[in-house]
Amino acid sequence: MHFIKAYLSCLWLLVLCVAVSQSFTDECLETAWPPNPTRSITTYVVDLDEPAHQRWASIAAMYKVQIKDLVDYIKVFVLKISPKLQFLIDLVDTKLPEMADTFPSPYGDEIKGISEASGINLGEVVLYNVFYEIFTLCTSIVAQDENGKMYHGRNLDFGLLLGWDFANDTWALSEKLRPLILQVNFTQNGQVLYKTTTFAGYVGIITGIKPNHFSITMNERYGIQGGYIGLIEWIFNINRQQSFVTFAMRDMLATADTFASAVEYLSKTPLLAPCYYILAGPEAGQGVIITRSRKNADNITLLGKDNSWFLIQTNYDHWKKPPFYDDRVTPATNCMNKYGAQNVTFPSLFNVFSSRPVLNKLTVYTALMELSTGHLESYWQYCEDPCFPW
């Protein structure tokens, strides 16, 4: 019965998407900027000179209720699908704690420290930290203005098929994520090494910038060899000669010194899941989409191809036609062309990211990065009705 309800919910949402998709094809807002200051995201500091298990202690203690609420929701949602899936919940408590010891340094120790500081079961904190490997939807844009100045932005969409709240017309998990959004400046020797927009207690990176060097966002790539395969291989020690996609991003931000070295690292590192890495650098023309399989890069597209001044990546191979039920590329492209290279700014990009269906019910935040200054600012997002479910 639970499976039938889930199927009918998905079918209803698909019908709704088809019905309303054409309504937003040409939407291109001009008044979304400036966002209300109450939507600004608080910035914290993680000091890399501190022992790994202590770095997140204050943040974990501050956000322990919100983290626990999200993890509990995931466990309840699984059991609502079928009580027979109790074995998965048991796995969180019995198998996942061991997984922390298998993570490369410093991630395992940081996760253990988060568990200690928050009082949340170690297996649950591990679950919280691996969940984003396989469920992240996004829209990322790299753009160059007419003077060669580089910008990078993204919408982070999360929560697809993880519980639709019919009473409020929202994705339940997306609503629980918003209170966890924060910016983190990672410091070393008293200096900011890199900046990120992330979630409290999450040690990987989905959005980040290394000032004067490069910026990076990651989007999920769908495929039969999805992240769940790599996750199973890792848990059962079948293959650990691969990197978690968000750990690879953090490793790159910590060690790469140039845009070119960042691109090379993320093109060649074996990964747990397929994904899209989108990077920008401070110099004109430094923009790229790296389409990754788990073993290597299937495609590398540079800014400037076919005289392009911007790149857009959602969750489908960008050289193919997007599916009719989830076309965020066409509206975003139309909106970017409407603004033109002469108007590439934080205000124009935020307007693009706030235009439906680029903005949808799954969108939890918009992040904007300016490469010449290393500036990052982020705002939580919410799509008012009528709004595309995804």
pLDDT for the residue numbered 2: 46
> Is pLDDT larger for residue 233 or for residue 219?
219
Q: At residue 280, does pLDDT exceed 60?
A: yes
Judge whether 159 lies within some domain: yes
What CATH number does residue 146 fall under? 3.60.60.10
Q: At residue 373, does pLDDT exceed 50?
A: yes
Instruction: Please give the positions annotated as active site.
Output: 138
Judge whether 73 lies within some domain: no
Strands 275-280 and 287-292: antiparallel
> Is pLDDT larger for residue 24 or for residue 258?
258
Contact (CB, 8 A) for 109 and 203: no
Q: At residue 223, does pLDDT exceed 50?
A: yes
pLDDT for the residue numbered 4: 47
Contact (CB, 8 A) for 205 and 251: no
Q: At residue 225, does pLDDT exceed 90?
A: no
Total of domains in the chain: 1
The whole-number average pLDDT for the span 106-124 is: 97
pTM of the model: 0.93
**Sheet architecture: strand order including 297-302:** 43-47, 181-188, 191-199, 207-210, 214-220, 275-280, 287-292, 297-302
Q: At residue 388, does pLDDT exceed 80?
A: yes
Task: Give residue 228's domain range.
Answer: 2-43+131-380
Task: Tell me which residue of 199, 204, 207, 211 sits closest to 257, measured CA to CA.
Answer: 211
Express each pLDDT in 299-316 by its tens digit.
999 999 888 999 999 999
pLDDT for the residue numbered 41: 97
Cα–Cα distance measured from residue 48 to residue 46, given in angstroms and rounded to the nearest whole number: 6
User: Nearest 10 degrees: CA dihedral of 101, 104, 110, 116?
Assistant: 0
In a 3-state reduction of DSSP, which class is residue 383? Answer: coil
Cα–Cα distance measured from residue 275 to residue 315, given in angstroms and rounded to the nearest whole number: 8
Judge whether 117 lies within some domain: no
- How far does Cα 173 stand from its chain's mean position? 14
Judge whether 108 lies within some domain: no
